[in-house]
Amino acid sequence: MLNHVTYLYGFNLRLAEMLVKDLSPEQMAAQPGGVINHPAWSLGHLVVSADGLGQLLGLESSLPNGWSETFKTGGEPSGDATDYPSKEEILGALEEQHARNTEAVKTLDASRFAEPHPDEGRRKYFPTLGDQVVFMMTSHEMDHLGQIAAWRRAMGLGSATGI
């Protein structure tokens, strides 16, 4: 089962790259028709979330300074591209987080996945560590990648995958 989860985590990374490969720096922060969560914010948020997953798995944070604030959940994304790191920086950071987390998950003692979630507040949604790990590596990422796919259509760009 773990191989399926790590495969999908890698799939998500490749999809993220496809979704933004043709975007200019200005497009990365565009907010067409009131669509606030643009690609720069969505991908940066995935970097911050992946860093949080790494910490849950026992890794030290590796976020650049200021990213936690810029990409925080519930934050108001800016339409100014200069407020964000470049597409290349964001994708590089996402790739780094994916590599760290994939290795951490593969080397984690399997019994740890059945442990109760260490955060009591999150335990009502994710009873076990494994529940949170699988959600973060699959559903959470795909949710935000789906937002970017919808954003592309709002921008009149169409599908990035040809599907």
pLDDT tops 80 at residue 131 = yes
Q: How many domains does the chain have?
A: 1
Proportion of the chain above pLDDT 70, given as a percent: 99
Contact assessment for residue 110 and residue 130, using Cβ atoms and an 8 Å cutoff? no
Q: Is residue 127 part of a domain?
A: yes
Tell me the C-alpha distance between 26 and 2, whole Å.
Answer: 38
* CATH code of 138's domain: 1.20.120
Structure confidence at residue 163 (pLDDT): 62
**How far is residue 19's CA from residue 22's CA, in Å, rounded to a whole number?**
8
Q: Supply the mean pLDDT for the chain.
A: 95
Residue 29 lies in a domain: no
Let me know if residue 24 belongs to a domain: no
Q: How many CA atoms does the CB half-sphere of 30 hold within 13 Å?
A: 18
Question: What does the block give as tokens for 14?
Answer: 């490749």
Residue 41: both structure tokens together? 């914010």
Q: Does any domain span residue 120?
A: yes
- Provide mean pLDDT across the span 127-147: 97
Q: How many CB atoms lie within 10 A of CB 99?
A: 12
Is 86 among the domain residues? yes
* Type of residue at 12: N
Q: Which amino acid is at 70?
A: T
Give CA–CA dist 8/80, Å, rounded.
Answer: 32
Q: Which has the higher per-residue pLDDT, 99 or 76?
A: 99
| Threshold 0.75, pTM exceeds | yes
- Hey, what are 73's tokens? 């959940």
Q: Are 63 and 47 in contact (CB under 8 A)?
A: yes
Residue 21 lies in a domain: no
Token pair of 39, please?
């690609």
Establish if 95 belongs to a structural domain: yes
Structural domain of residue 102, as residue ranges?
A: 2-13+35-154
Q: What is the pLDDT of residues 90-106, one digit of tens each?
A: 999 999 999 999 999 99
Q: What is residue 159's predicted lDDT score, i.e. its pLDDT?
A: 87
Classify residue 23: in a domain, yes or no. no
